[in-house]
Amino acid sequence: MEKQRVALIELAGSHDECLLTQMEALAIAGVETLLVTNRPLYDRNPHLHRFCSEVYFIEPAGKAIGDFLLMRKLVKFLKAQQVKKIVFNTAQGGHIRNLALLMPKSIQCYGIIHTIRKFQGSATQKIIHRAVKNYVVLSDDLLKRIEPVAGIHVESFYPIAFPHCIIVPDKPEGTFRITITGGLENRRKDLSRAVEFMEKTPSSVQFVFLGKTDLRHPDVQRFISLIKEKQLEDRVTYFTDFVDHPTFDAVLKQTDLLLPLIHPGTPSGEQYINNQISGAFTIAFGYKIPMMIHTFYQTEEDLRLSSHFYTEATFPAELQVALSKRDELSQKIRSVEKWKLEIQLNKYLSFLEIDLKEI
């Protein structure tokens, strides 16, 4: 019996973190994975290579006719490879719309939606719906916010598999590590509040921004200038290059708490919670690291199961409480059934209508 083939398509070159869980699930089911993406994403994720039976590199140039022809060539490749199912790792945008228009009915299409605004009247998404009838969003809380769309099925999925490496501990004894995932960027994080938190907490508490930081960005320059002015440079670690997976894993395994730095009334507060989740949430669920979250977001069930809450005024005191309860909070995350990897692997296969009994 010929093996099933599923193509995972990531044309935006982002959301790498969602791929490993999907590939592990397909491997368990004995399904061959074809990865369609660009060279940079493939190169920076060596842990994915062993799961790929085939890799198809595609580099859209942003020119309408040329890119449309690239999509037509991709569809021809998928048909030649006898692919029966594809998953759009980022199921939104113009390129996916073009693929939706070209995709034959013989190929079933599935997709991951990262911003649920796409279900709120997007003309491009309506075209994508012609091919994609089944979607997942990245949390139960986002799922609850979606207004039903006729003929479209949506469920939740947590991509909580991460590559793990052997680490060499480098956290000095007696210190605590608070990790903010991603680089220094005010659009996604309340940087001014971060400086205030550093000023009001003991020097034993270290803050790590775990992502690439662009030193040319005005937000970054203001932040660095401010921590120098307040003599807080020794409290902050950030990275100016891509953070490779061994480093990423090592930092997280020595992290006491995650701090998404999402606060109401800020750019990050507008961006997250209502329409999408922060990547810190998935990391918390996967690594079982508790988060500290503003009390404004106690409305979210997933955050109540994984976080300790604070206000701007109570952060120093609540941080001490959270650190003292860190192991208890971590165990609480571990006890949540849906955040067990096996559950999500099986759920993903069910979403793709792949029955393990038939493998």
Claim to verify: residue 9 and residue 144 sit in the same structural domain? yes
In a shared domain, residues 219 and 332: yes
30/128 same-domain check: yes
Looking at the structure, tell me whether residues 136 and 28 fall in a common domain: yes
Confidence check: pLDDT of 110 > 60: yes
What are the backbone angles phi and psi of residue 63, rounded to the nearest 5°?
Answer: -105, 125
Based on the fold, state whether residues 192 and 251 are members of the same structural domain.
yes
3-class SS at 92? coil
Mean pLDDT of 240-250: 93
Tens digits of residue pLDDT in 150-167? 999 999 999 999 999 887
pLDDT exceeds cutoff 50 at 359: no
User: Which residue range forms the structural domain that includes residue 294?
Assistant: 176-336
Q: What mean pLDDT is reported for the chain?
A: 93
Number of domain units in the chain: 2
CA distance 109 to 86: 5
Quick: pLDDT tens for 251-279: 999 999 999 999 998 877 877 888 999 99
CATH number of the domain bearing residue 209: 3.40.50.2000
Q: What is the residue-wise DSSP string for 282-322?
A: HHHHHHT--EEEEGGGTT-HHHHTTEEEE-TTTHHHHHHHH
Give dist(CA 146, CA 80) in Å, integer: 36
5-24 pLDDT, tens digit per residue, is 999 999 988 899 999 999 99
Based on the fold, state whether residues 153 and 180 are members of the same structural domain: no
319: pLDDT strictly greater than 80: yes
Could you tell me if 148 and 142 are in contact, meaning their C-beta atoms sit under 8 angstroms apart? no
Q: Six-digit token pair at 143?
A: 């799922």
Query: For residue 2, what pLDDT is reported?
Result: 67
Is residue 215 located within the same domain as residue 114? no
CA nearest neighbour of 286 among 162, 119, 121, 106: 162
> Looking at the structure, do residues 330 and 184 belong to the same domain, yes or no?
yes
Answer whether residue 166 is part of any domain.
Answer: no
State whether 49 and 111 are in the same domain.
Answer: yes
Residues 140 and 248 in one domain: no
Q: 157, 188, 214 — which closes off a domain?
A: 157
Co-location of 152 and 285 in the same domain: no
Under the banding of pLDDT at 50, 70 and 90, the label for residue 358 is very low
Main-chain phi, psi angles of 177, to 5 degrees: -110, 120
